[in-house]
Amino acid sequence: MSDIPCKAVFDTVFFQNGMWFVISVLFVCTGNICRSPTADGVFRDLVQKAGLADQIMADSCGTTAFHVGEAPDPRSCKMAISRGYDLSMLQARKLAHRDFSGFNYILAMDDGHLAELARQCPVEYQNRIRLFLDFHPERRGQSVPDPYYGGASGFTQVFEMIEETAQALLIHIRQQHDI
């Protein structure tokens, strides 16, 4: 494993699409069509722009199987495009048991997701689970509101929260893992 491009030994190393990744982040919401794919797309874009796409990977999933195989909500996609992001390659999937051992960071969009993740997660991986907004310096302990049943302003608010927090998350990962 000496050919893996990393500066330290991490809990998990992943091979996907012909590349090794040393840090992995999973964003989790209910159906994986609004909040978590938005965070996934925004974070991937930041990672790419930082030149770290060969070291950090992101994915997203839902706690339920309501929307498995579907693209993100059209309102999320529209908002993403207006802000310079592309969510078109994302497809909803349900949380799998292997995700607990397979991701370094498992980030819940709200308290309900956090509780569900904690309930399902084996004890040895509990330390990987956190609220996504815990990485935002002014929103620790808060939930990303679900924009699904609201109007366009809810999607705008969610994107703003996610963009700010994704930047803080990337800073944290870079500092924590010396990359």
Q: Do the strands 129-131 and 56-62 form a parallel or antiparallel pair, or are they unpaired? A: unpaired
User: What is the domain range of residue 42?
Assistant: 19-177
Q: Which residues are catalytic?
A: 29, 35, 146
Residues 12 and 23: their CA atoms lie apart, in Å, by 7
In a domain, 7, yes or no: no
Q: What is the pLDDT of residue 13?
A: 57
In a domain, 87, yes or no: yes
Number of domains in the chain: 1
CATH assignment of the domain containing 28: 3.40.50.2300
Q: How far is CA 105 from the centre of its chain?
A: 8
pLDDT exceeding 70 applies to what percent of the chain? 88
pTM greater than the 0.85 cutoff:
yes
Tens-place pLDDT, residues 41-75: 999 999 999 999 989 999 999 999 999 999 999 99
Q: What is the mean pLDDT of residues 125-150?
A: 96
In a domain, 143, yes or no: yes
